[in-house]
Chain A
Amino acid sequence: MSTLILPAVISGLMMGAVYALVALGLTLIYGVLHIINFAHGSLLMLALYAVYFLNTYLGIDPYLAIPIVLPVFFALGYALQRGLIGPMSSGSEQNVLLITLAVSIIIENLALYFWTSNTRNIDIPYVYDTVELFGAFIPFGRVIAFFGALAVVPLLWLFMAKTRTGSAIRAVAIEKRGAELVGIDVNHTYAICFGIGTACVALAACLLLPTFYVTPQVGYTFVLVAFTTVVLGGMGSLVGALVAGLLLGLIESLCGLFLGDSLGQIGIFIAFILILLLKPSGIMGKAP
């Protein structure tokens, strides 16, 4: 059995790092704007399609697509918050949740309309070259995704701690009125933050697609996992999201091993329900 468990643990951690990356964007948006962005998964799906089309029609390698997709999705996120979610929600928590839900319905069903429900993937031969890690053979693409996702946490942390924009974001998150008084443009900062969150998703898409697939429904699965990650890690905590993402990848992989593939994700959702009930502040979060 131990010969099966170790590979499951390692591949679970690899997937967990991508979950963490997706959740980083979500937790950043929650930590600053205090909104639960339901459209996060649909934006991931959209980014996956962007990477897919760049590769299929222009022959661009998914990893080289990062400098193209990242700024585009930053701009998309910025525009979405500034143009739609901010002005339409009139500030109520309930409305924001419903509006981001509506945005995700629109994106998903338009994708279904234009691109049909076919499962698509790209063919990059070298990502399936296996790397041996502690006796487990892992596709090269998964290893890149793992380290790529891990690298984002310190980068994002440095950005938040050391840059002027990062300070502004932190100021707005802590004390909105005060930040406004010292001359910070709150709506601009909110939109920047939403843009960064969306850019995280675009990066995740570039790292994910080589060893994954895309359908219009793929975002729904990810958004639930991302919510779980964010809540488990503590809403707004970057390190928490990383730890929680890895943990959930592990849970999914082990549940899949012991209960069968189709039940793998059930472990995640049960973990989600238990956390929401028992410790909604998460493992790294402050008490609400």
Chain B
Amino acid sequence: MMKLNSTGQLVLILVAVAYLLGVYFISSPVWMGFTINALIVAVLALSWNVTGGFGGLSSFGHAVLYGTGAYTSAILQVTYGVNAWVALVAGIAMAAAVGGFIGALAFRYGVKGSYFALVTLAFAEVFRICAASFDFTGGGSGLQLKLAPGISNIQFADRTVLYTFLLAIVVLVMLLTAWIKYSRFGAYLVAVRENEDAARALGIDTYRIKVLAMAVSGAFGGLAGVLYLQLWLFIDSSIAYGSSVSIEALIGPIIGGAGTVWGPVLGTLGLHLIGEGAKTLLSNAPGLNFVLYAVVLICALRFMPNGLVGLAGRIGPFAKKESKDA
């Protein structure tokens, strides 16, 4: 699933894998708990990576996909008593549909660049206000799932089992990302990012490719939302559609390396480690982890344009000058 270009990248990935496996042996509920959160955000980051990384379609409103997945699943389970696994699939499908719909609308009218970022942001905001105002979404008080541990309800009493489950999902989404990357679809998507006019001139149906990318991104993002719901058993409009979700979606991939398989996961894990460290040092002050994320983001934009993966790619005996593969 990866084509390594340098020892730097290999070391980076080995450190991450060692950390993810190490969590099993540290047996500290704090480490486990925060890594569980980071894994869910990593799925969201991988979702942003499909459009923002491969396609160069930078979204500022990925919360719209995450929230739709979470709300679809919650409404089905709470109101209609549907099985959690069925609700999971429905959440993913619904988020993919919303992603495809937004993409179809935006790309039909040739929205691109910063305008695309603003359109997605506006959609997230419209969904947030609707979720807070209508009755079937629980309005301002949100939706609460019944506590019923058991694999058939995707609720895990044992944290180690939950952790393994999430780890398996992250690996699965990474495998799918790698598959996209090396598929014809991925190549088309990168072509759209690099030069859309040229891609179209070569006969690529760029509109279809971009809408498809939004739908795939929607599926991943919806999955992340459902996972959040299954973990916390509660969502409301600002948890599901809030701007902080959209920010978390884009910040990990950009810092880790957009358009790579490992970048979004590495970036998200790294950021959460920094954020958690800051929380411990500064006695749990609200919002300070986001301040740190933003500072890291500015530094990353300035000093490592291809993210951690790009930076690591330049270290070691087989290093290429600028490498994005990992």
Contact = CB atoms under 8 A, between A and B. Distances in A.
Interface of A: 36, 84, 88-90, 93-95, 97-99, 101-103, 105-106, 108-110, 112-113, 220, 224, 227-228, 231, 260, 262-263, 265-266, 269-270, 272-273, 276-278, 280
Given A102-B294, A277-B111, A112 B125 contact: no
B121 interface: yes
A273 B119 contact: yes
B285 A102 contact: no
Which 5 A-B pairs rank lowest in CB-CB distance, beginning with the nearest? A109-B287, A102-B294, A105-B294, A112-B287, A277-B109
Contacts of B295: 102, 106
A266 B114 contact: no
A37 B295 CA distance: 17
B290 A269 contact: no
29 contacts: A36-B118, A84-B298, A90-B305, A93-B113, A95-B301, A97-B58, A98-B297, A99-B297, A99-B298, A99-B301, A101-B247, A101-B294, A105-B290, A105-B294, A106-B291, A109-B287, A109-B291, A109-B294, A113-B285, A228-B122, A262-B132, A263-B129, A263-B133, A272-B122, A273-B119, A273-B123, A273-B126, A276-B122, A277-B108
B298 A102 contact: yes
Contacts of A262: 129, 132-133
Size band of the interface chain B makes with A? 35 or more
B130 A266 contact: yes
Contacts of B302: 88, 90
A276 B287 contact: no
Given A103-B294, A265-B125, A272-B122, 20 more contacts: A36-B114, A89-B301, A94-B114, A98-B254, A98-B297, A106-B291, A106-B295, A108-B287, A109-B288, A109-B294, A224-B121, A262-B133, A272-B118, A273-B105, A273-B123, A276-B109, A276-B111, A277-B105, A277-B111, A278-B109
Contact of A101 (B60, B133, B287): B60
A101 B243 CA distance: 11
B106 interface: yes
Contacts of A84: 298
Contacts of A108: 287
B172 to A, nearest CB: 29
A180 to B, nearest CB: 23
B109 A220 contact: no
A270 to B, nearest CB: 6
Chain B interface, DSSP helix/strand/loop, else mixed? helix
A220 B114 CA distance: 17
B122 A273 contact: yes
Contacts of B254: 98
Given A88-B301, A94-B58, A269-B125, A280 B111 contact: yes
A29 to B, nearest CB: 13
A74 B117 CA distance: 28
Contacts of A272: 118, 122
Contacts of A276: 106, 109, 111, 115, 118-119, 122
Nearest to A221: B125
B319 to A, nearest CB: 22
B262 interface: no
A260 B111 CA distance: 31
Contacts of B71: none
Given A109-B287, A113-B288, A278-B109, A97 B117 contact: yes
Given A110-B291, A276-B111, A231 B118 contact: yes
Nearest to B295: A106
B66 interface: no
A102 B125 contact: no
Contacts of B115: 276, 280
B128 to A, nearest CB: 10
A252 to B, nearest CB: 12
A266 B118 contact: no
Nearest to A105: B294
A105 B247 contact: yes
Interface string B234-271: 00000000010001001000100000000000000000
A94 B300 CA distance: 13
A90 B105 CA distance: 32
B286 interface: yes
Contacts of B243: 220
B141 to A, nearest CB: 13
B220 interface: no
Nearest to B58: A94
Residue among B118, B125, B285, B286 having the largest count of chain A Cβ atoms under 10 Å? B118
